[in-house]
Chains A and B, each alone.
Chain A
Amino acid sequence: MCGIVGYLDKTGSENQPIGKILLGMLEALASRGPDSAGVALFGIPRLNQLIARVKLGNNGDGAQRVLDVKTAAQKFGAQELAQKGDYLRFTFEENGDLKPFLSDIESVAPDVEVVSVGRRLEIVKQVGSPSRLEQSFGISGFLGGHGIGHTRLSTESVVDLSHSQPFWGHGYPDLAIAHNGHITNYHQLRRRYQEHGVRFYTENDSEVVAIFLADKLRQGFPLRAALESMIAELDGSFSCLVATDSALAFVKDPFSFKPLLYTETASFVAIATEEIAIRSAIPGDYTVREAQAKEVQVWQR
């Protein structure tokens, strides 16, 4: 099962209640997967600054752990440090290569993980239902231009924060994915990336989608071409939503195994696993259609 949702504002506004819209959509799909829930929200872009969200690990309640991560972050000029739940959120100066930053923060402890980095992107996810996500983080107050969300029914890997979705394209700023399906050549792909030194944080096959797309975009593929290459190189079932700082997109596998519906009007694009999610979160008169096998759509902001 699993439910995925996406929303993009087409009016150019950066102050849309996307947190509220995505939450409304996710709550309508909660019965498709109550194990964990998450959103990747794209807010007002920072100028030469990145926003980091770090999983503190150790359930985020060890004072020493918080201090250690803060100390590591301060080497990179971290500002606006704030701890909420299992996360430490802060901003820092954009300085080209993210590798030293990621390696320093994540070397604090094995269960410390940088969950997202971007000028706009913030990934918030945890174990439990979409309603619980709202209780913990108040995501309905988040304003921005677009975003994606996921509610998970775990089938093959453990249920914890790191295994929740959306996944960040680890190391590639402002890239997030939400995937419904199974990648059946996951182990083969994973080994290939590991041989090139890529670290995997989970046993979740959806993580490889984020790694795959980050790799393609780094190689200079346009987003649409990167998504088309998924159809050729990934096996199994995937209805997959992808968001970057300036786009919302989806790709569907060649057999159309998993549902995915979308609507586009003059002012917005909404995508969800079931139409019920779009109807319950967004009033108005619009037509919804199911995506076809191998369909790729990219909407630029």
Chain B
Amino acid sequence: MAEVDAAGHITREINAAIRQLIAEGSTDITVLNPGARHNLAVAILDGVRIRIAGSAGYYCGGLGDGASIEIEGSAGWGLAESMLSGTIRVHGNAGSGAAAALRNGTIVVHGDAAARLGVSMKGGEVIVAGNCGYMAGFMAQKGTLIVCGDAGEAFADSMYATVCYVGGKIANLGTDAVLSPMDPGERERLEATLNSYLPAALRRTKPAAADFKKVVAGRKLWNFDKREWRIWQEAV
């Protein structure tokens, strides 16, 4: 297993060292002393394993395509922003804008996520063991957003076709977000997803798949209709 010690190095040097190790054939890399530095392991385009031995700052794993990244502390703003594929697992909490514009892949947060989780996500799966903050899922287009704990205000506002599941309380739904019954077999699929990424021991809140609420777009904002002027006034 290869190691990169971040202490005393600028971000550019740390990321260059990671790429150098990958070019030399390493598939399992540990970043020591990350110290919540920004832009760690961004735009890694290979299916390697990267372990961040502590907290990461802004944009960790952003623009990546295929890497499996494990952050042993917390992550700052913009975790995995615009990631194309791969897996990121955060043992601590995630800052605002986690999984924003996610294209594909899986983001797992063992703690809480702050505001704007999964905004404008275009695919992939986001799974949060704890709570999420204000305006999660805003304008999200595709993919799945799972929050085992409570969701903050304006949840799933102005969404397209992302499907959300919330295990705890929802402070309030955003514009055009609606609760929806689950389809036959959907609970089993949700349970399988949770079990594969978030074993019961890591779920701080009790809900099994049976307790989850499903939230989708009400589709009132998908096409303009002047008879629905009121909802447009609220949304804009």
Contacts and interface: CB of A to CB of B under 8 A. Distances in A.
Interface of A: 254-256, 259, 261, 274-276, 278-280, 287-293
A280 B35 contact: yes
A293 B57 contact: no
Nearest to B93: A289
Interface in B73-110: 73-74, 76-77, 92-96
Contact of B114 (A256, A276, A278, A280): A256
Contacts of A278: 36
A276 B35 CA distance: 6
Contacts of B153: 254, 293
Contacts of B38: 274, 276
Interface in B86-138: 92-96, 111-112, 114-116, 133-135
Given A289-B74, A293-B152, A276 B93 contact: no
A293 B35 contact: no
B158 interface: no
A295 to B, nearest CB: 9
Contacts of B93: 287-290
Given A274-B57, A293-B134, A259 B112 contact: no
Interface string B192-204: 0000000000000
A274 B55 CA distance: 11
A255 B152 CA distance: 11
Interface in B171-215: none
B49 interface: no
A246 to B, nearest CB: 29
Chain B binding surface, main DSSP class: loop
A290 B114 contact: yes
Contacts of A259: 76-77, 95-96
B143 interface: no
Nearest to B113: A290
17 contacts: A254-B153, A259-B77, A274-B36, A274-B57, A278-B36, A279-B55, A280-B35, A287-B74, A287-B111, A288-B55, A288-B74, A288-B93, A289-B112, A290-B96, A290-B133, A293-B115, A293-B152
A83 to B, nearest CB: 39
Contact of A290 (B54, B95, B135): B95
B133 A276 contact: no
Nearest to B98: A290
A291 B134 CA distance: 11
B95 A261 contact: yes
B51 interface: no
B37 interface: yes
Contacts of A261: 76, 95
Nearest to A259: B77
B55 A292 contact: no
Most chain A beta-carbon neighbours within 10 Å: one of B55, B94, B112, B152: B55
B36 to A, nearest CB: 4
A292 B73 CA distance: 19
A202 to B, nearest CB: 29
Contact of B57 (A254, A255, A275): A275
Contact of A275 (B36, B111, B134): B36
A255 to B, nearest CB: 7
A274 B58 CA distance: 9
A256 B55 contact: no
B73 A288 contact: yes
B92 A292 contact: no
B133 A289 contact: no
A279 B33 CA distance: 10
A289 B110 CA distance: 12
